[in-house]
């Protein structure tokens, strides 16, 4: 069993740690990244604790996370110019918070390949 008491994103989802929240519904919370890498940088997080993409069993959940990311991109006014969605997984993937999340980044031109 994961220790959701000490999980940072579980604590944000429970309202125990403040965040700039943009969506808070039954299943998900979305809030602005504390260290934004683009003018828009929002994290889309399921309230249920899932450690990473590698722990995912509900395949529809990521579809709903991506659908919310697209809706937020439209809301942020970056849908027409474009944006990037990223899921970092594990050490080599650059994941630093062990709770599944999608990064929504936009408002500037992105380069490829990522670092
Ligand atoms: P990742 O490296 O993919 O696991 O992304 C974790 C992101 O979480 C990273 O971009 C910074 C962000 N983050 C870390 N701590 C906090 C926090 O306390 N509040 C908010 N809003 N974002 C955080």
Would you say residue 114 lies in a domain? no
Written as tens digits, the pLDDT of the chain (115 aa) is 677 899 999 999 999 999 999 999 999 999 999 999 999 999 999 999 999 999 999 999 999 999 999 999 999 999 999 999 999 999 999 999 999 999 999 999 999 999 8
Whether residue 101 lies in the annotated active site: yes
Q: What is the pLDDT of residue 115?
A: 86
CATH number at residue 48: 3.30.428.10
> Is 114 near ligand 1, meaning CB less than 6 Å away?
no
Tell me the DSSP string of 14-57. TTSS---EEEE-SSEEEEE-SS-SSSEEEEEEESS----GGG--
> Is 85 near ligand 1, meaning CB less than 6 Å away?
no
Q: What is the pLDDT of residue 23?
A: 98
Would you say residue 3 lies in a domain? no
The closest-lying atom of ligand 1 relative to the alpha carbon of residue 101 is 3
The closest-lying atom of ligand 1 relative to the alpha carbon of residue 97 is 4
Q: What is the pLDDT of residue 80?
A: 98
Q: What is the pLDDT of residue 1?
A: 61
């Amino acid at each position: 069993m994961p220790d959701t008491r000490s999980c940072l994103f579980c604590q944000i989802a429970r309202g125990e740690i403040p965040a700039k929240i943009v969506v808070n519904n039954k299943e998900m919370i979305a809030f602005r990244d504390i260290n934004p890498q683009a003018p828009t940088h929002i994290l889309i997080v399921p309230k249920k604790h899932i450690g990473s993409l590698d722990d995912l069993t509900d395949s529809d959940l990521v579809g709903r996370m991506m659908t919310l990311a697209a809706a937020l991109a439209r809301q942020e006014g970056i849908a027409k110019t474009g944006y990037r969605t990223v899921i970092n997984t594990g050490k080599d993937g650059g994941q630093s918070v062990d709770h599944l999340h999608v990064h929504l980044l936009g408002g500037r031109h992105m380069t490829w390949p990522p670092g």
